Amino acid sequence: MRRLRIALAQANFTVGDLEGNRSKILQFVKEAQREGADIVVFPELSVTGYPPEDLLLKPQFVEENLKTIKDIAQQIGDIVAVVGFVDLEKDIYNAAAVIYQHKIVDVYRKIFLPTYSVFDEDRYFSRGERIPVYEIRKCQVGINICEDIWYPDGPGHIQALAGAELIINLSSSPFYAGKRSYREKMIAVRGIDDAAFVAYVNLVGGQDELVFDGGSFIVNPEGEIIARAKLFEEDLLIADLDIESVLRTRLHQPKIRKEILQAEKVYKVFVAPPKERPSGFIKGRTEETPPLEREILQALVLGTRDYVNKNNFKKVLIGLSGGIDSSLVAAIAVEALGKDRVVGVLMPSPYTSKESIEDATELAKNLGIQIYTVPITDIFEQFKKELRERVWGDMPEDTTEENIQARIRGNILMAISNKFGWLVLTTGNKSEMSCGYATLYGDMAGGFAVIKDVMKTMVYKVAAYYNKIKERDVIPQRVFVKPPSAELRPNQKDEDSLPPYEILDPILKAYVEEDRSYREIVEMGFDAETVKKVIRMVDINEYKRRQAPPGIKITPRAFGKDRRLPITNKFVPF
């Protein structure tokens, strides 16, 4: 029986950390060798980290990346390693080095370069032209990179037509809720259409606003997932593939046999001869997939942990209000960093309720975090006094005074941040950020916006799930049932300014994430004036969102790189 033992090295690389990434690659190679793997595969652009963005415009960075891949190759012996890096020949390419016996035997260059959503690869790379099939341990193997596999007639299909029995895809595919299932279905279809095994290795970890969820997996020629790695953590997934089963499958699929003539462009490369196989058969494990709320929670935890740690912050600081948003952010921070690295600050104003103070205090106690109380009433009164006397006289109070309170709190948080070097985590959610229901230089002040891409209704669901897995009310139950309020004036409620969140969030999803028109949204059953109001709020607050800190992407369309609209914009959609 012809078998191939493959290892998928799902690693957490850091952009620009060439030495750290090199060490991690070699560590995984050693582990794969101990397990008797014939081939070990790493994610897209493993050497540089993904996405390196405008670092690619620095010749020094590209050259050092080339030195690093050559050094890696010199230290790899009797195992085939496939490693993502940046290749250079007149121009630069998103590439995969095929390494064996201390040499780079061949290089595959990515052909389909994505330029949509958060991707901008046409800005940096030239596209590859050659399509290879490699002979590795008497098995025919096709290698391609990320976007290449998403095209039904792309490189993977051509490689299969040329005889490839295994298609390997190196990927760095950012997470959003629901994408994993879609990705697995797509790869399963490729396995069926090409009558081949497909091994998909994905990056894991956080990089600025992106989170990579891992979940590397292998499908057989029948499109069945036969092995799946862990989600949101590093893993080495090992499985033995019965390569002879590919021929048995293809003999029953005349369609692919009739297409063989289309494979004329493929070039063949011999990489590694057969070797004596270790005894036994590794079937490969299949990790379970979590429910949606857990998936989102894990993404938020990983994104927060990596942003804080990779940027060398020792602690994080959170303004605690006793509301659901700050409660969830504090819980995520503790999960990501541990209780000793999270500090809460309670800043009561004249309008802060006794219940909110109690809930924030109870939350801090339940999480085991340090909490400071810095009242803002006296500061607020002094602000108003000076401004009344020197600027605005007897003008009546309005949102100006509300925003002053938020900005006093922002100043306090940033002062503590500056004094101790701690990172401020902001607590605004996507519903608020969409509508501009936030104060510039106030509650928007900070370094990282953990739930910036999480709608308010989902905040409640994730928080409830968090309590469920903790098997106790870490987030106090009263936080879930009291009406949301900024508490910046007497008896204030969010619904004074916004539609109820169960109405607001579906409208926002339709307009912000799906680009539906005003008429389409009304036809979904929503009140026309409410839809107009929401659209107006979204459109006029682009300037605020441009000044917001980065936050973790968990939806198909997040603010920032995903959605780029002009601030100065006269288009009226209704």
Instruction: Please list the active-site residues.
Output: 44, 110, 146
Strand 139-145 with 131-136, pairing: antiparallel
Q: Token digits for 228?
A: 């799946």
| Residue 50 parent element (H or E) | none
| Residue 571 parent element (H or E) | none
Give the angle 118-121-125 at the CA atoms, nearest 5°: 165
Sign of the torsion angle spanned by Cα atoms 58, 110, 25, 337: positive
User: 155 CB contacts (<8 Å, ≥6 apart)?
Assistant: 111, 131, 142, 144, 148, 149
Strand 342-346 with 370-373, pairing: parallel
Cα(35)–Cα(108) distance, integer angstroms: 26
Sign of the torsion angle spanned by Cα atoms 434, 439, 441, 443: negative
Do the beta carbons of residue 316 and residue 424 sit within 8 Å? Answer: yes
481: left (phi over 0), alpha (psi -120 to 50) or beta: alpha
**C-alpha distances in Å from residue 303, one per residue of 36, 118, 172, 306, 350:** 33, 16, 15, 5, 35
Strand 225-228 with 217-219, pairing: antiparallel
Q: Token digits for 329?
A: 């952010």
**The CA-based dihedral angle spanning residues 57, 92, 25, 139, taken in that order and rounded to the nearest 10 degrees:** 160
How far does Cα 325 stand from its chain's mean position?
A: 20
Cα(251)–Cα(245) distance, integer angstroms: 10
Cα(476)–Cα(464) distance, integer angstroms: 10
Token pair 């005074």 in the structure block, residue: 401
Cα(329)–Cα(210) distance, integer angstroms: 17
| Residue 112 parent element (H or E) | none
Backbone angles phi, psi at 201, to 5 degrees: -110, 125
* Strands of the sheet with 316-320, listed across from one edge: 370-373, 342-346, 316-320, 423-426, 448-449
**The CA-based dihedral angle spanning residues 302, 308, 311, 313, taken in that order and rounded to the nearest 10 degrees:** -160
Q: What is the end-to-end Cα distance of the chain in Å, rounded?
A: 66
Q: Token digits for 274?
A: 């057969």
Do the beta carbons of residue 285 and residue 237 sit within 8 Å? Answer: yes
Do the beta carbons of residue 80 and residue 39 sit within 8 Å? Answer: yes
Cα(263)–Cα(213) distance, integer angstroms: 34
